[in-house]
Amino acid sequence: EQLAPVLEHGAVVQAAGEGRISSASRADYAAAAVAVLTGEGHENTAYELGGDDAWDFAEYAAELSRQTGREIAYTPVSVEDYTAILTGAGVPGPLADVFAGVDAAIAKGELVVSTGDLSRLAGRPTTPLAEAVAAALKG
């Protein structure tokens, strides 16, 4: 959803510092949901779901650069500056606070998941960042 402004301005602007994210594709989460909803033995079990390989926004910017042939830089900013950027772009203040709060959590390492639950449930490795970027660029 944020890809258009990134490509337009040639920058990934976030308040996540060097924090990493264990993201996964919708298809990865859907495969895990199917396994849990149709399989047995998941009762009273909690899973922490995340992608197999965590990445940071510098790696994301580098992957965008590689796939687009354009220089895309990662520009880390403070949480306060990020909130101001978002509200300046028309994002309502409370929502900007939520987005900035997520970035603060990323910076603290709170979005790294190393359980392997998602790939185990899906029965395959999760979608790598390069594949997710390629799919996003295709629209």
φ and ψ at 63, to 5 degrees?
A: -70, -40
CA distance 64 to 75: 14
The two structure tokens encoding residue 27: 């298809």
pTM: 0.91
* CA distance linking residue 84 with residue 100, whole number of Å: 10
Rounded CA gap, 71 and 92, in Å?
Answer: 30
Give me the domains of the chain, ranges plus CATH numbers.
3-138 (3.90.25.10)
In the chain, the percentage of residues whose pLDDT exceeds 70 is 99
- What confidence tens digit (pLDDT) does each residue in 66-109 have? 999 999 999 999 999 999 999 999 999 999 999 999 999 999 99
